[in-house]
Every structure is written in structure tokens, then in C-alpha cells.
Amino acid sequence: MLEGKFASPVPRHVAIIMDGNGRWAQRQNKPRSAGHRAGVQSVRAVVRRSAELGVQALTLFAFSEENWQRPKTEVLGLLELFNRALRKEAAELHDNNVRLQFIGDLRRFKPDLQRLMHDVTDKTAVNTGLLLTIAVNYSGRWDFAQAARQLAHDAALGRIKPAAVDEAHLEHYMCLSGQIPPDLLIRTGGEKRLSNFLLWQIAYTELIFTDILWPDFREAHLDAAINDYASRERRFGQTSDQVAGAMHA
């Protein structure tokens, strides 16, 4: 590993599917809730390291729309942990110039948690460092649907002609609109699927799947993923010769 010195610039935007908390707990002969609590330490480590490396945006998949199907006790525990962690970490994030925002259908959460997310977003909006986005009650298909609904509404009001609708118009209404799409997506826990995460935004994202369970994921693992990313040639539909020519133009 290159210990933070990379073959090319670090990714501007890193997205992470944080998977493996439950299996980590099982291997430790602990309840699943212990895995979720341990995962908070990994969030701290990755946020800190991302800021150190100059990553501009970090998007973490914390709670999917499908996660409501889990046992009620686990869901309630996850939401309570999220509430406590957010209250505890918000001040430190603010002090470290991190801007925090949330994506997903937040209306399903209790009003006090909605207010907390809103207050933290407002408080950190003035910061100019790492943009930390937490995806909660989020799914890629929901993102498509809510964007299409807003676009259809504006078309019905005559704000846009249906014949003029293109990718840029739809993207304007999607979560992460206006942000750089993720350059790198990391999924921990050994599974090799996207689990309905950022389906629109990761069209040209480099994907890395690691067997490391999320509670064990630390700075060194992030560095290793970025080293892998740095070794890849991103062509965006072009040939290698075209990419090389553009780099030396």
C-alpha cells in the first residue's frame, strides 16, 4: 500500500454501502445491535480519513427503504442508535468543517428525528470541507420515482415541455443533484450487488467489493480501495488511446 500517496488524484466523491454489521456481531457471539454500534467507529474513521485525503464528498448508505422489513426490535434499535450517534457526532463534524446532509424519504421518520436531521443540516450548511451525505430510508428506485413525479408536476404546470425532457432535466430532481457523481463505490461485507443504491448516479462509477465487514473497516482499508481506484483507467466510453491523448493534450 502507498500509505496515502496515490498514483493519481484521490476520488472526488466516494460512496460506501456499509454492510456486514450483523455477521460481525454473530462471529463475536453478540447481538446484531452490537455490530451496528461497532459500525459507528468505522464511520468516524472513514469520515476522518476522507477529509484528510481531500475527498470532496462522501455518501454513506445507512438505512435502505427495504430495511424496514427487518425484525421490529432491530429496526427500532437502529433508529435509536442513529438518533444518539447524530446528536453525539454533530458538534464534532461541525467543528471539523464537515457539511452534513441526508437523502431519502425522511417523512417516514418520527418528527423529532426529522427535526434533528433538519437542524444538523442547517447548522453545518456554512461549512466548506467534506460534504457528508447519509442515505436513510433511501432506494434508487424511489429516487427515480420521486424525480419523475416532480418533473411530471412541472410539465403539467407548463414549466417544461414534455418533448424537451432529457437526462439533465430528470437529474435535476434526483437526490445528489448538482453534485459530482461518485467516482468510487465501495461495498463491504463480501456481497457483490448494489442493493438499490444510487442507481442513476453510479453509471460510470468504479466499483470495489471487499470481504471486510463494516465494523472492521478502517483507514488502511480505505487507502487500499483508493489505491485500487487509482490504478484503473476510466474511459467513459472512449478508447485507451483517446484517454491518453486527452491527458497529454
Model confidence over 105-124: pLDDT tens digits? 999 999 999 999 999 999 99
Tell me what pLDDT residue 8 has: 59
Tell me what pLDDT residue 236 has: 55
122 catalytically annotated? no
Tell me what pLDDT residue 241 has: 58
pTM of the model: 0.91
Give the number of C-alpha atoms closer than 13 A to the C-alpha of residue 189, restricted to the C-beta side.
Answer: 20
Q: Which residue ranges form the domains of the chain, and what is each CATH number?
A: 13-139+181-234 (3.40.1180.10)
pLDDT at 206 over 50: yes
Q: Exactly one of 19, 143, 183, 223 is catalytic; which is it?
A: 19
Nearest of 233, 230, 226, 237 to residue 203 by alpha carbon: 237
The CA R_g of the chain, rounded to the nearest whole Å, is: 19
Nearest of 218, 221, 214 to residue 24 by alpha carbon: 214
Tell me what pLDDT residue 214 has: 98
Contact (CB, 8 A) for 19 and 214? yes
Beta bridge pairs of residue 185: 15, 207
Q: Exactly one of 21, 29, 67, 227 is catalytic; which is it?
A: 67
Task: Dump pLDDT digits (tens) for 33-90.
Answer: 999 999 999 999 999 999 999 999 999 999 999 999 999 999 999 999 999 999 999 9
19 catalytically annotated? yes
Instruction: Give the burial string for 202-220 (b: 16+ CB within 10 Å, else e).
Output: beebbebbbebbbbbbebe
Q: 10 is written with which cell numbers?
A: 484521490
